[in-house]
Amino acid sequence: MKDSVTVTQPFLPPLEEFVPYLKDIWERKWLTNNGFYHKELEKALCEYLKVPFISLFTNGTLPLMIALQALDITGEVITTPYSFVATTHALWWNGIKPVFVDVEEKTGNLDHNKIEAAITPKTTAIMPVHVYGTPCNTEGIQKIADEHGIKVIYDAAHAFGVEKNGKSILTEGDLSILSFHATKTYNTAEGGALVCHDEKVKKLIDYLKNFGFAGEAEVLMPGINGKLDEIRAALGLLNLKYLDSTIEKRRQIALKYRLKINDIPGITILDETPDIRSNFTYFPIFINEKEYGINRDKLYEKLKSHNIYGRRYFYPLISTFTPYKDLDSANPDKLPIANKFANTVICLPMHHGLNEDDVNNIIKIIRLECLN
């Protein structure tokens, strides 16, 4: 029997193609601190992503924290509870109070219609997430931010390469963060980045990720170490060559899931968005127990019994975790949609390594279950 089918699988290029990069790094004897491959990758990513400036990081969480430092964010920040926990942790590490606001039924993204009611004199920014790579209502969010003179920082960890009407979603707001973690569509094993609009901000971010050094003997601010090394920058350059073909594989799988799952009573999938270039990183389905016959956790276990490992992204909600559960805004009565999403979601396996049998098998199990 085949090995287990997991929700994702890290993309790895052919090893023999990586060896020449390693040999070159060995010859250069330069392992980190804005080296050759670091610069090459920043250039290549600006081009691929159609963004003006990017600063690379050693993971996706440090850029979230540094974005807040770079823009002097303090007090309170409005954010979504329906995300990976790092989004809120970055606020906590900066001594900022997270204020949770509910999400939209259509996308799972922060509901821009509910933001204004949560703004107080202490609010300095909004930190939304493009969940599953679906763009937030960026226009609606920007309008509120402009009216109140506050910043917008997007956690775009799921939105690598996502475009709306041919324009990168990563240039929305003041800053966008990316993650190149092994589980994401584009990976450098661990890695991440900040996308910004101008050279001055890029410079500030580059100082902040290198202890605040602005020269050999000048430290401008209390920075941190967030640098990406040469080995992972080189892996990033190589992986970028394979990205479009892996996204295409994911697209085919998404197409098949959509076609075969769409009509199952009690299972909802998110709408397709025709003007969006998606990266097909996730395929979430939402289970209505009454109509489908069993609840989410039962289906999750059922899939597991067949060696298929979906993931309940994002469950539990961030607002239910110990450090945040006592905040006023964490009250579940104020977050009905986020709670519904968290309690009904399963992300189905979605990666370049799935074959047709795997996908058919997953669909078969989900369909059979609904006849019970």
CB of 84 to ligand PLP, least distance (A): 4
Q: How far apart are CA 98 and CA 78, in angstroms?
A: 6
Q: Read off the tokens for 8.
A: 């994702």
Our CB check for ligand PLP shows the closer of 188 and 361 to be 188
**Cβ-contact 131, 357 below 8 angstroms:** no
Our CB check for ligand PLP shows the closer of 8 and 210 to be 8
Report how far apart, in Å, the C-alpha atoms of 203 and of each of 51, 115, 207, 309, 351 are: 16, 31, 6, 42, 36
CB of 133 to ligand PLP, least distance (A): 10
Residues near ligand PLP (CB under 6 A): 59-61, 83-84, 86-87, 129, 155, 157-158, 179, 181, 192
CA trace torsion 327, 333, 335, 336 (10° rounding) = 160
Our CB check for ligand PLP shows the closer of 80 and 361 to be 80
CB of 219 to ligand PLP, least distance (A): 25
- Which are the contacts of 149, defined by CB distance < 8 A and separation ≥ 6? none
Helices (H), the chain: 15-28, 36-49, 61-70, 86-93, 138-148, 199-208, 230-261, 289-292, 296-305, 336-344, 356-371
**Cβ-contact 25, 234 below 8 angstroms:** yes
CB of 82 to ligand PLP, least distance (A): 10
Our CB check for ligand PLP shows the closer of 59 and 361 to be 59
CB of 195 to ligand PLP, least distance (A): 14
Our CB check for ligand PLP shows the closer of 94 and 288 to be 94
